Structure 1
Amino acid sequence: MKRRRFLSIAGLTGLLGAAACAIQRTGSANPYYSGPPSDHFDGTRFFNPGGTDPKGFGDLLKWQLGGDRADWPDSVGITQTAPSERVSDLQVTMIGHASVLIQVAGLNLLTDPVWSQRASPFSFAGPARVTAPGVAFDALPPIDAVLISHNHYDHLDVATLRRLHDRFAMPVLTPLGNDALLRDEIPGIDARAGDWGEVLELPDLRVRLLPCHHWSARGTRDRSMALWASFVLETPAGKILHIGDTGYDQGRPYTAAAAHGPYRLAILPIGAYAPRWFMRDQHQNPEEAVAGLIASGAKWGLAHHWGTFQLTNEARDEPPARLSAALAAEDLPLDVFRALPPGATWNVPR
């Protein structure tokens, strides 16, 4: 148990901007993005308008030393799948954590792909996978685009993106600043960035970036210097709302999203929420995810951000159990909002 806690702290240093191996860059106060101030950018850092700043290092230590961390298994068996090369309607396959293969109207999209063993700036320490990816890397179909929601290590994995670029040379769509990070790490990558409210276009796909309540960091000196966002995917088979990470923030991310619906599917996070005093502002819990599904107006929901990497205190199987209870409390069928294990595929009904 002591070893597990040490590894947790090492990995979270990257996630929370407290790593000793911070990215060291010179020549600009913000190494990723330069632009005029706006209602969510002060000229150096991005922020959540009317929202809450992320907790500091002192609160991180208070949490890590406070106990109450559930014990996770070292590994959980799954059945990997080999997806179809193309799908004419809408099919989603869970890879693990925030990584989802979306196959829609002949397009193959990946969200926040992580095939690495650890979600960490280190190869030797940090949160390790307890499940294999639901699809072996070599079994992936041709990938037409990748969506990166923000730059935390459990969402932006340079090693995986380098492998994807070498194999598919696909565009990567991401919020402001993350494009510069990717081009610096992966020469030649087609990284395209947008601000909240902007639309990035590909053949048969429009991707609108919208606000969510989160933050960013790769090290100690770049906190909130690259933007975070949710995505609205406008496809011939319907609209999809995808949020990589968000706090519920009084429902404001869902109010913003609802204006661009209706949605056939919403892909929403349900894990990494405990303890609430520390995580509430940045990670919603399952009850808030159900409230968000309802507020967005989405017909169906896919849960992600649980069960692959232990980032916080809750037990591995707690998020899907609480999701079922929250759906029942709202008199909603349990299959409306599904927590698929890695390797599971869902043909989303029309």
Structure 2
Amino acid sequence: MRHAQAGNRYYSGPVSDHFDGTRFFNPGGEEPRAFLDLLRWRFNGARATWPSRVESPYPSAVPQPRIDDLRITMVGHATMLIQVAGLNILTDPVWSERASPVRFAGPKRVIEPGIAFGALPKIDLILLSHNHYDHLDVETLRQLHAAHDPLVVTPLGNDTILADSVPGMRVITGDWGDKVAVNERATVHIEPAHHWSARGTRDRRMALWASFVVETPAGRIYHIGDTGFHDGINYREAARLYGSFRLAVLPIGAYEPRWFMKGQHQGPEEAVEGMVLCNAAFAAGHHWSTFQLTDEAIDAPRQALLAALAARDIAASRFRPMLAGESWDVPPRA
């Protein structure tokens, strides 16, 4: 862990093309909008009404201990269990009732987790994309540390948060372009995403955000926790570096209104374009139907995704907007 110095509570390190010495940024991209824009959005009167509780059409999943090939199971929002080549991976794990720094306010879960916490198989690895509360939940991480002692791979600065909140958790941090050998069969590459970070009002962009590429004998997986589309730059670069992917795990929700969300959350149409640009054979859609973060209706991401696939004559079976409890044995690349 690199200890932060004055000006940045999480990280200190050399200036780079995405770090100015105090804050991280998106090269050539957009940064979060100002507070007045936030107020303009929150009081626009366009927020759809979500149900307070919904039932998934899928029963709570009970995963097998290990999978030799590739299976993905939706827990909810950005939390997914990826079982690949004998490795059990959780992405951005959140089992809490709210995505919030407090238990009495903030976005509330409308659907039960698709896997009961006690039904999890032994978790080997957590991919932690950034520090927003709907992705980094310290209470869930404490429980995972106690029950599974997993390794966490996360971008720069987030180790400081975990060291304070979950003492003893095994954490490896890296910058964009770094890689971590998880075992003799799996390597995780830390790659760019177009997003930002904050846990409060005074730490904006002080910890890095990232996507991940997981290389295994069962195929290559591209996982993005949160991203704006950014003209497809990062998708094209992923294809240049890695050639193709068996599976891309892509966010499809929390995108309205576009004038406010475009720089941080891609929409379903952009997710389809991203799948094409990065040469993914299949894609799993997440970041929807669990916590209401933005204005669109609860089912709008699925409807928009299916329409975008049809418009491009892409089979709906290639890109699944996954619901809590749903498991998918991902087919091999043709």
How big is the shift at 1:65?
0.8
Match in the other structure for 1:16: none
Structure 1 Cα separation of the partners of residues 6 and 68 of structure 2: 46
RMSD after superposition:
1.1
Q: CA 1:27–1:237 in structure 2 vs 1: closer, same or farther (change >3 Å)?
A: closer
- Structure 2 counterpart SS, 1:80: coil
CA deviation string 1:279-299 (max 9, x = no partner):
011000000000000000000
Alignment of 1:171-182 (within 5 A): 171-182=151-162
Aligned pairs for 1:1-350 (under 5 A) are: 28-78=6-56, 79-203=59-183, 204-259=185-240, 260-350=242-332
CA distance in 1, matches of 2:266, 2:216: 27
Distance 1:71 1:106 in 2: 41
Structure 1 contact 210–256 (Cα < 8 Å) conserved: no
Question: Structure 1 counterpart of 2:67, which letter?
Answer: V
Q: Which runs of 5+ in 2 are unaligned?
A: none
Structure 1 consecutive aligned stretches of length 4 or more whose deviation exceeds 2 Å: 25-28
Identity of aligned residues (%): 59
Find the aligned partners of 1:171 and 1:298 in 2 and give their Cα distance: 27
Q: Secondary structure at the match of 1:58?
A: helix
* Aligned-pair CA distance for 1:174: 0.2
Q: Which amino acid in the other structure matches residue 55 of structure 1?
A: R
TM-score (norm 1): 0.92
- Once the two structures are superposed, what CA deviation does each residue of 1:180-205 show, in whole Å capped at 9, x if it has no partner? 11111111111110000000111121
Tell me how many residue pairs correspond in the alignment.
326
Displacement, 1:41? 0.1
CA contact under 8 A between 1:239 and 1:261: conserved in structure 2? no
- Give the C-alpha shift of residue 261 in structure 1: 3.2
For residues 159-193 of structure 1, give each alpha carbon's deviation from its aligned partner in whole angstroms, at most 9, with x where no partner exists: 00000001111110000000111111111111110
Q: How many angstroms does 1:28 deviate by?
A: 2.3
Aligned partners of 1:220, 1:69: CA distance in 2, in Å?
Answer: 24
Distance 2:93 2:167 in 1: 18
- Give the letter for the 1:277 counterpart: W
What is the TM-score when the length of structure 2 is the normalising length?
A: 0.96
In structure 1, C-alpha distance between the alignment counterparts of 2:66 and 2:186, rounded to whole Å: 15
SS at match of 1:299: strand
Between the aligned partners of 1:47 and 1:236, the Cα distance in structure 2 is 34
Paired residue secondary structure (2:198): coil
- Structure 1 residue 27: Cα displacement: 6.0
Quick one: distance in 2 between partners of 1:261 and 1:314?
34
